[in-house]
Amino acid sequence: MQAGRIRLRQTGIKSALLQIHSVLGLAAALVLALMGVTGAIMSFEDEIQAGLNAALARVVPRADAVLAPGELVTRLQAAPEGGKVAAITLSRDPSSAVRIRFARGEDGGRPSSVLVDPYDGHVLGTPRGEAFFATVRKLHRWLLLPGDGNGAGRQITGAAVLALVVLLISGLVLRWPRRAGSATAWLKPQFALSGRGLHRSLHSVIGTWLLPVYLVMALTGLSYSYGWYKDGLTWLLAPAMQMPAKAPRESRSDARSEPKPLALDLVWATVRQEVGDAYTTIQLTLPAGAGTAVRVRSWLHQANDGARDEFRIDGASGRLVEAERYADKTGGERALARLLDIHRGNILGLPGQIVFMLTAALMPLFAVTGLLLYVSRRRLRRPQPALIEREAAPAPAPTAFS
């Protein structure tokens, strides 16, 4: 009797989980499928853009010294069509062009980046593929809705990722094997089936195989949607790291005010003093408003896994304000610093990139099979017409032999 009650209770719990799984799946299927496809497209964005712009981004090395960032900015902004420089990316390779990214204009639009000859400041051209990947990125993060990161799109994608976490956990509970010996069949797709059986096998078995990757994607992606989640992740992974106070939001009047003059030569001297030659790429991000703090990212030369040091340097005096060296970070702090690399699988090298790309590209499979399973389940629950007619027919009149 007690065993029967336990089975009934388990059946009721699984029935409720199935309802939650179905409702959340239907609500988030389209958004998750879209995020999966766009994420797969962006998996090899750097490699694709490097291939598209291989000829444009190369210059002939010369005996002359390359121009300092300050001189490059001065020459670019002296041109009538030149806008306000927002970021400068320089390579240690003497045959690589410098990439310049501009700030947003009064209309909120951002001009295209340009590649510049580091020896004479000559503009080589606009990188191909940049506008395409910018659109894909906005679609992935904000569904191209107005407001970008401050609009409704960010809340929708964040809610969809939260739903994905619930879908993964509930799906695992729903199909957990009752006996350890059934694990082989639990993890083996049944491609010989057809119809509902095939849909269930594709949805559940392949979903089980890919569940760890989807869980990593979801748990890292949530940090880009919710501040409270990122704060919690910081507390969990790096409790000793002091939480920096959030800077006050820049008002429109401050953003449009005349920026203070920056001594980029002093900034560059400090960067070279701190970094030396131990870098492959250095990116200087200039202050957006009237501030003077220049953010510097230096990708390490001795590390081939994307590790980087970060600095904040006062643009007026060249004084080092803050330094975050990758070698000094704890394991949790390194994970936080490379959250995007974990999200994309880059931290595992080329095999990880391929696995994460294919996993993201398969997201529409679960949206389609989940929808088909829901429809077929609804059909099975409907009473059959023949049965309805049989139950509605009047009982035969009794005879003498009845």
214: Cα separation from own chain's centroid: 12
What is the rounded average pLDDT of the residues 159-171? 95
Mean pLDDT computed over 295-309: 80
pLDDT tens-digit series, residues 55-85 = 999 999 988 889 999 999 888 877 766 678 8
Report the sign of the C-alpha dihedral through residues 241, 301, 341, 348, in that order. Answer: negative
Helices 152-174 and 2-42 pack at an angle, to 10 degrees, of 140
pLDDT above 60 for 210: yes
For the whole model, what pTM was predicted?
A: 0.84
CB count, 10 Å around CB of 41? 19
**Predicted pLDDT of residue 194:** 86
Q: Supply the pLDDT for residue 196.
A: 87
Share of the chain above pLDDT 90, in %: 52
Give the residue extent of every domain in the chain. Answer: 58-127, 260-329
Range with the poorest average pLDDT among 2-6, 72-76, 205-209: 2-6
Q: Is 324 exposed, middle or buried (0-12, 13-18, 19+ CB in 10 A)?
A: middle
Domain 260-329 falls in which CATH fold? Nuclear Transport Factor 2; Chain: A, (3.10.450)
Q: How confident is the model at residue 15 (pLDDT cuts 50, 70, 90)?
A: confident
- Topology match between the domains 58-127 and 260-329: yes
pLDDT, position 260: 66
Q: Residue 399 has what pLDDT?
A: 40
Residues 321/341, Cβ–Cβ less than 8 Å: no
Q: Strand 123-125 to strand 114-116: parallel, antiparallel, or no bridges (unpaired)?
A: antiparallel
CB 89 within 8 A of CB 282: yes
| Average pLDDT score over the chain | 84
CATH, domain range 58-127: 3.10.450
